[in-house]
Structure 1
Amino acid sequence: MSNSTARAISPAELEARLRLHALPDLGPQRFQRLLQAFGSASKALSAPASAWRSLGLPSACGDARRSAQVRDDARHALAWLEPAAQHLLMWDQPGYPPLLAQLDDAPPLLFVAGDPKILELPQLALVGSRRASPPGLDTARAFSRSLAGAGFVITSGLALGIDGAAHQAALDVGGRTVGVLGSGLENIYPQRHRSLARAMIERGSAVVSEFPLGCSPRPDHFPRRNRIISGLSLGVLVVEASVASGSLITARLAAQQGREVYAIPGSIHHPGARGCHQLIRDGALLVESVQQILETLSGWQNLPPSPAPSPEPIAHPLLALLHAAPHSSEGLALASGWSLPQVLAALTELEIEGRAQRENGRWFARLS
């Protein structure tokens, strides 16, 4: 079934789909297999157990479909949908994000808190390390602001670090942003970003999840979440990531899905740059400015003609060194050839101006 041939579904069919969705170990592809085999969720629920087994479905799915818990979960989801800002998008119904619908394992149901219409707008994913360095966070904020100003919806995973910085920066310039969860919408994770999620919902953005509303975060949920982040987006920008980072999973999924992959390089001494360097070796576009991203997507429709300008070139010699890598005061004196008192005086001025900051004995440049 495709979006072009979709028909509005009945309330009974909607409840049946929610019951299927609540079954353990079903997953997107098995969900689609049931709909294709029986023609509707209602008929699938009433089919004999032997028919389910013939489709290779786990016995736990068939055993649970008539349970009181599954019925209660479906009724709870129906009640959750009553407020105006809470929605359910279905793969074969109008309003489902068109890029996401192209995936073989597209989520059959997608819960949305906020404005679902922004999921049909051009999106760029911006992802990176949960333990990002101050320069990495500044880079994420600067790129997010400029891309949001250029008309893109900024999509990320609402995680700590780069994700949260990207979401907040888009909101700060009046842009829109989408957070994709690895848990249910009634169980926002991480808890520290619950206020950020509320702000996104209240300010015309959206938080989405394919998982049942009360579902807890689990390690295996995050790769599934990552395929949605990349699947919604025209491209994925990785700001800072280790080689083992989940951000690299998102980037590789993006490449498999035919999306653009961008990576920002960093110092060879910084562990958070190694994942980006690996992506560049694998064929990602090395990005030093927002303009490079916009040029690769110049043909995309519905974007404003004038993107936000790139940051001005760095003039201060100490800032040039700090943008290359974090340094101690003594390291800056050695690298610049200045005396230590000169370096300390200059760093104090830069800190007052908000252009540099000190953390754990090292100095970092700030992009904003």
Structure 2
Amino acid sequence: MGDRWELTRGDDLWPPALDDLARPPERIFGRGDPEALRGPCLSVVGARRPTPYGVAVAEMAARVAAGCGVCVVSGGAMGCDRAAGAAALAAGGRTVVVSGCGADLVYPASSRDVYEGAVERGGAVVSAEPWGSGPRRWAFPKRNALIAALSRVLVVTEAGLRSGTMSTAEAALELDRVIYAVPGSIFSPSSAGTNRLIAEGARVIPDERTLAVAISLDYGRVPLASPAARDAPGPVMSALLASPLRPDELAARMGEDVLTVLRTLTDHEARGLVERLPDGRYSPTREFLLGHNGATVG
């Protein structure tokens, strides 16, 4: 994963954005290209156990940032962070993983591809923790502050009210960074944090085009491609886009019998449009949310 390096405050390659912290680290440890930390960077954070919606939003945000030539910063955690890093790499961009462990470790192991891709493709893995340090609960708030500090903008994709994602948002507010928040259903606990940020003044990102325009304005960079137009979803997908539902709830909302709705859901599941969540509700898949299915569906 590349040669190790260490930077101390005052070094030529030290990222000046970290000096905005109330208590900047005296030393950071990393692998990859330390120049990647100097920006322009955009941080993308979200739930560790996201819904398909949260994953799709994280991937969209990272893809748009990469298309604008902006390095994507995340924590490398499972869920939205990993999705953002992987999407940035898939789009040909760079990503920086800010780890709560030593920069020579991979945590969690499921994010190994993102850690390795960051180092191999012009990004970096960085940490304020010494080499060989394992995961410790107290290290992650420090990690979250670094994620907030490194970027001009923090994108919050999906977050509960009490979460590490919200602690990163709080750090960004203290640093006077710009926060973009993607709204979700008011009935979804997974979107309660993002919706609260919007109520308190975060910039609302209702769609991909708005995100591209916002990044262009804040970074002075034009995206390489414009978002493609999508066909309008049918009544079943429209209802599930508003909020994941159980078959009986969906049938009641649409005025249909449950068997008819179940047949439709089975068909949509076979086509990769919906997936059944562990609690029995159905949700649009991340592929559908990202627009990989262009056909109008019911």
Same fold (TM over 0.5): yes
- The answer as to 2:108 corresponding to 1:184 is no
SS at match of 1:280: helix
- The answer as to 2:138 corresponding to 1:232 is no
Q: Give the distance between the partners of 1:274 and 1:364, measured in 2 at CA.
A: 18
Q: CA deviation at 1:164?
A: 0.9
SS at match of 2:50: coil
Q: How many equivalent residue pairs?
A: 286
SS at match of 1:135: helix
Q: Give the distance between the partners of 1:319 and 1:297, measured in 2 at CA.
A: 29
- The answer as to 2:39 corresponding to 1:121 is yes
After superposition, the C-alpha distances for 1:316-361 in whole angstroms (9 at most, x for unaligned) are 2211111110011222222123343443343334334332212222
Q: CA deviation at 1:269?
A: 2.0
Contact persistence 2:61–2:211 (CA under 8 A): no
Could you tell me which runs of 5 or more consecutive residues in structure 1 were left unpaired when the two chains were aligned.
1-82
Paired position in structure 2 for 1:222: 140
Greater relative CO (CA pairs within 8 A, separation 6+): 2
- The answer as to 2:148 corresponding to 1:148 is no
Aligned equivalent of 1:260, options 178, 182, 185: 178
Aligned equivalent of 1:174, options 59, 67, 92: 92
Aligned equivalent of 2:164, options 246, 270, 273: 246
Paired position in structure 2 for 1:363: 282
Contact persistence 2:45–2:165 (CA under 8 A): yes
**Greater mean alpha carbon deviation, residues 178-187 or residues 226-235:** 178-187
Which protein shows a greater Rg? 1
**Greater mean alpha carbon deviation, residues 91-100 or residues 186-195:** 186-195
- The answer as to 2:183 corresponding to 1:269 is no
How high is the TM-score relative to the length of structure 2? 0.87
Aligned equivalent of 2:127, options 206, 209, 224: 209
After superposition, the C-alpha distances for 1:92-150 in whole angstroms (9 at most, x for unaligned) are 12122232233342222221211222222211111111111122212222222222222
After superposition, the C-alpha distances for 1:221-272 in whole angstroms (9 at most, x for unaligned) are 1111111101001111111111110111111111111111121222222111
Q: Give the distance between the partners of 1:337 and 1:143, measured in 2 at CA.
A: 36
Paired position in structure 2 for 1:64: none
Q: CA deviation at 1:189?
A: 2.0
Paired position in structure 2 for 1:332: 250
SS at match of 1:309: coil
Contact persistence 1:140–1:166 (CA under 8 A): yes
Contact persistence 2:216–2:223 (CA under 8 A): no
RMSD: 2.2
Question: Partner amino acid for 1:353?
Answer: R
Paired position in structure 2 for 1:130: 48
Paired position in structure 1 for 2:112: 194
Q: CA deviation at 1:88?
A: 2.0
SS at match of 1:298: helix
Aligned equivalent of 1:347, options 255, 265, 277: 265
- Where does 1:52-63 land on structure 2 (aligned, <5 Å)? none
Q: Give the distance between the partners of 1:238 and 1:123, measured in 2 at CA.
A: 15
Contact persistence 2:67–2:224 (CA under 8 A): no
How high is the TM-score relative to the length of structure 1? 0.71
- Where does 1:152-167 land on structure 2 (aligned, <5 Å)? 152-167=70-85
**Greater mean alpha carbon deviation, residues 151-160 or residues 276-285:** 276-285
Contact persistence 1:155–1:233 (CA under 8 A): yes
Q: Give the distance between the partners of 1:352 and 1:143, measured in 2 at CA.
A: 28
Sort the Cα spacing of 1:116 and 1:261 in 2 relative to 1 into closer, same or farther, 3 A.
Answer: same
After superposition, the C-alpha distances for 1:164-208 in whole angstroms (9 at most, x for unaligned) are 111111112212111101111233322332343123222332111
Could you tell me which runs of 5 or more consecutive residues in structure 2 were left unpaired when the two chains were aligned.
291-298
Contact persistence 1:168–1:196 (CA under 8 A): yes
Question: Partner amino acid for 2:25?
Answer: P
Question: Partner amino acid for 1:315?
Answer: P
Question: Partner amino acid for 2:61?
Answer: F
Paired position in structure 1 for 2:293: none
SS at match of 2:216: coil
SS at match of 1:204: coil
After superposition, the C-alpha distances for 1:261-299 in whole angstroms (9 at most, x for unaligned) are 121222222111111122122221222123334434434
Q: Give the distance between the partners of 1:184 and 1:209, measured in 2 at CA.
A: 6
**Greater mean alpha carbon deviation, residues 162-171 or residues 101-110:** 101-110
Question: Partner amino acid for 1:363?
Answer: Y
Q: Give the distance between the partners of 1:240 and 1:310, measured in 2 at CA.
A: 23
Sort the Cα spacing of 1:297 and 1:202 in 2 relative to 1 into closer, same or farther, 3 A.
Answer: closer
Question: Partner amino acid for 2:30?
Answer: V
